[in-house]
């Protein structure tokens, strides 16, 4: 019987590994559709960012109640996965609680810690489900949060609740079977799952083993299924928050990157530089599609948690304009997914007649941005929607002349009069004489 379980486990693990690897390679290929951007500066500052923001959840605690509950889920995810390591080893070797004999009494301490975190995760998920579906917090019900984003969040929360219930059920039945079957290693009393023991005490040993094994298999298959599903979900931020915070912009938030294409052309006109553009091409002003953005912009789109903190802080959105920084990131990710699927099936890819600007993100949205950086400050994983907005706006202004008429007048005045207002450069200092 144990050999059959080992074979089934190996097959299950192999199938899950195949699909996870396939999906990870697809995501990597999608991110690599962006422009190359070498980021190797200040490694210590970047590591500090990653440890404080991604690992330490630093920016989450601006909103203390959801942050505290999210922290329990986060710690539970990290720590309970140590138990999953034991699941994997037991599944491969046909053993049961392989670490218990080696850890002795400390194993009981660990298991009680795991159960405490499982209960904390259970309660936190119930709270978050209530916030989303009963209290209906406005940022979870805005225009871009269509049926799928809402369902995605609910599926993850419900799955977490079921998986935590499976752990407690498994431990409760396991504690009973330990007294009846030598294959089941003694764990000592487990506080939380002990409350479930009365529901199973009078059952036959064979039925208890079936329940325990079902809960074990349900949990491990659930974990593997979760790992596959996450790669299609906004919960991919669980993994990508770490590289995203590491490669995040270190300059002051008010700093706006120059356009290398423009800088090179201006220097060439002034005789200061004669370096040719990469690959001998003049380059595009700004960004029209995802391949005009940098790879770290695209990775940030996959890192988005869809929490809506950026949009809830955006002054343009708060005054009723169409701009939503969260939608900018979601649209960028959706465009990547569309292009990636097309390339995977031998389709036209980027040449499908669509573009990120106009087909996904409108000029009305990007023109509403005040460049205030409120969205950048609000993001708990250091995503920078402003960079994408500016690149799209640069393309609209410089390649399509698609800016509002008032803006075009201002651009012309700056070009001819060196000021937003239309007057002769020689008259600029006249105000001194007033």
- Taken in order 349, 353, 356, 359, the sign of the CA dihedral is negative
**Which fold is adopted by the domain 263-423?**
Fumarate Reductase Iron-sulfur Protein; Chain B, domain 2 (1.10.1060)
SS3 314: coil
177 Cβ contact partners less than 8 Å away, ≥ 6 residues apart? 184, 205, 208, 209, 212
- Taken in order 60, 66, 72, 78, the sign of the CA dihedral is negative
Q: Are 250 and 44 in contact (CB under 8 A)?
A: no
Report the alpha-carbon distance of residue 97 to residue 308 in Å, rounded: 42
Note the pTM of the prediction, 2 decimals: 0.88
Digit-by-digit pLDDT tens for the chain (434 residues) are: 567 888 999 999 999 999 999 999 999 999 999 999 889 999 999 999 999 999 998 999 888 888 899 999 988 888 877 788 898 999 998 888 999 999 989 999 999 999 999 999 999 999 999 999 999 999 999 999 999 999 999 999 999 999 999 999 999 999 999 988 888 888 889 999 999 999 999 999 999 999 999 999 999 999 999 999 999 999 999 999 999 999 999 988 888 888 877 777 777 777 776 555 555 455 678 999 999 999 999 999 999 999 999 999 999 999 999 999 999 999 999 999 999 999 999 999 999 999 999 999 999 999 999 999 999 999 999 999 999 999 999 999 988 888 888 888 888 888 887 778 777 767 777 767 76
Nearest to 17 by CA among 219, 221, 230, 224: 224
Q: Is 42 left (phi over 0), alpha (psi -120 to 50) or beta?
A: left
Kindly list the domain boundaries of the chain, sorted by start residue.
2-31+63-245, 263-423
Report the alpha-carbon distance of residue 87 to residue 81 in Å, rounded: 9
């Amino acid at each position: 019987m144990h050999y059959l379980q080992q074979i089934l486990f190996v097959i299950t693990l192999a199938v899950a590994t195949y699909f996870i690897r396939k999906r990870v390679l697809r995501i990597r290929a999608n991110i690599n559709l962006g422009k190359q951007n070498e980021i190797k500066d200040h490694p210590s500052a970047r590591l500090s960012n990653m440890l404080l923001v991604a690992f330490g959840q630093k920016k989450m605690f601006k909103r203390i109640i959801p942050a505290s509950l999210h922290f329990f889920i986060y710690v539970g995810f990290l720590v309970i996965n140590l138990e999953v390591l034991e699941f994997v080893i037991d599944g491969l070797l046909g053993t049961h609680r392989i670490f218990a004999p080696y850890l002795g009494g400390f194993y009981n301490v660990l298991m009680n810690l795991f159960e405490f975190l499982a209960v904390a995760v259970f309660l936190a998920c119930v709270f978050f489900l209530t916030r989303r579906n009963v209290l209906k917090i406005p940022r979870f019900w805005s225009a871009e949060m269509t049926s799928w984003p809402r369902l995605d969040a609910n599926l993850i929360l419900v799955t977490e609740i079921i998986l935590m219930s499976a752990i407690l059920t498994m431990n409760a039945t396991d504690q009973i079977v330990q007294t009846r079957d030598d294959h089941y290693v003694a764990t000592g009393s487990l506080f939380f799952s002990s409350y479930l023991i009365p529901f199973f005490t009078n059952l036959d040993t064979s039925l208890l083993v079936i329940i325990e094994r079902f809960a074990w298999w349900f949990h491990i298959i659930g974990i593997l299924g979760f790992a596959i599903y996450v790669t299609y979900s906004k919960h991919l931020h669980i993994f990508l928050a770490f590289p995203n915070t590491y490669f995040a912009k270190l300059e002051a938030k008010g700093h706006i990157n120059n356009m290398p294409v423009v800088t090179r052309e201006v220097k060439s006109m002034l005789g200061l530089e004669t370096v040719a553009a990469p690959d001998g091409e003049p380059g595009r002003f700004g960004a029209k599609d995802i391949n005009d953005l940098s790879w770290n912009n695209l990775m940030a789109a996959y890192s988005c948690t869809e929490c809506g903190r950026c949009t809830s802080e955006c002054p343009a959105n708060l005054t009723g304009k169409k701009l939503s920084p969260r939608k900018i990131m979601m649209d960028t990710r959706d465009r990547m997914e569309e292009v990636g699927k097309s390339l995977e099936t031998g389709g036209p890819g980027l040449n499908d007649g669509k573009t990120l600007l106009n087909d996904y993100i409108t000029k009305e949205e990007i023109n509403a941005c005040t460049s205030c950086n409120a969205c950048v400050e609000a993001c708990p994983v250091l995503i920078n929607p402003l960079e994408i907005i500016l690149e799209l706006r640069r393309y609209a202004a410089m390649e399509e002349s698609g800016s509002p008429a008032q803006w075009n007048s201002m651009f012309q005045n700056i070009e001819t009069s060196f000021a937003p207002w239309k007057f002769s450069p020689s008259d600029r200092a006249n105000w001194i004489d007033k």
